[in-house]
């Protein structure tokens, strides 16, 4: 059985990442692009917990982003749910290298997120230039890959810490 304390700790962890993403890291943005910690966390969580939990967390972090940003509601919910599920399903079949795997999975997820959103925006009738895509995708990749290992490590430590707390009771 999952304790309420464990759930509250994870919620506090997610909200802490979200506060960093929305208040501190936009100061260091490049061409209006900064790190997407909700995407990076969804990837890290999915690598550790698998497809179902990855999809659930992707849904929740996407919902948080959609509610806070005021963009098209449901876009991040849909995209992060798919990314969480696919990353979690993929994680069963690979060696869990703590440095290389989060970076590569985050690279895949950033590209997938970017193109899912791009396709959805094109379906809604918006247009983009290739120059805009190049100016925004590369910084997003750099930021997200740079934060992939620290977020994965923090998520892994949080997982170990919550397991110890549960085992100590």
**Count of Cβ atoms closer than 10 Å to residue 9 Cβ:** 15
Whether the Cβ atoms of residue 36 and residue 110 lie closer than 8 Å to each other: yes
* Domains in the chain: boundaries: 4-161
Could you report the per-residue pLDDT of 61-83, keeping only the tens digit for each?
999 999 988 778 888 999 999 99
- Tens of pLDDT along 5-45? 888 999 999 999 999 999 998 888 888 889 999 999 999 99
The domain defined by 4-161 folds into Arp2/3 complex 21 kDa subunit ARPC3 (1.10.1760)
pTM of the entire predicted model = 0.88
Contacts of 93 (CB under 8 A, 6+ apart): none
CA distances from 9 to 4, 13, 31, 61, 80 (A): 9, 6, 34, 15, 21
Q: Which residues contact 73 (CB under 8 A, 6 or more apart)?
A: 66, 67
């Amino acid at each position: 059985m999952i304790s309420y304390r464990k759930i509250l700790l994870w919620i506090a962890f997610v909200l802490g990442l979200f506060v960093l993403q929305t208040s501190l890291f936009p100061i260091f943005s490049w061409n209006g692009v900064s790190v997407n910690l909700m995407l990076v966390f969804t990837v890290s969580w999915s690598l550790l917990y698998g497809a179902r939990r990855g999809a659930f967390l992707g849904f929740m972090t996407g919902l948080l982003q959609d509610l806070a940003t005021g963009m098209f509601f449901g876009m991040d919910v849909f995209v992060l749910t798919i990314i969480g599920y696919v990353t979690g399903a993929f994680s069963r079949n690979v060696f869990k290298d703590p440095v290389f795997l989060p970076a590569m999975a985050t690279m895949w997820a950033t590209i997938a997120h970017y193109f899912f959103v791009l396709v959805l925006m094109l379906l809604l009738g918006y247009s983009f230039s290739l120059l805009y895509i190049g100016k925004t995708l590369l910084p997003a990749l750099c930021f997200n890959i740079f934060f992939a290992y620290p977020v994965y490590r923090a998520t892994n430590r949080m997982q170990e810490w919550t397991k110890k707390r549960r085992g100590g009771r």
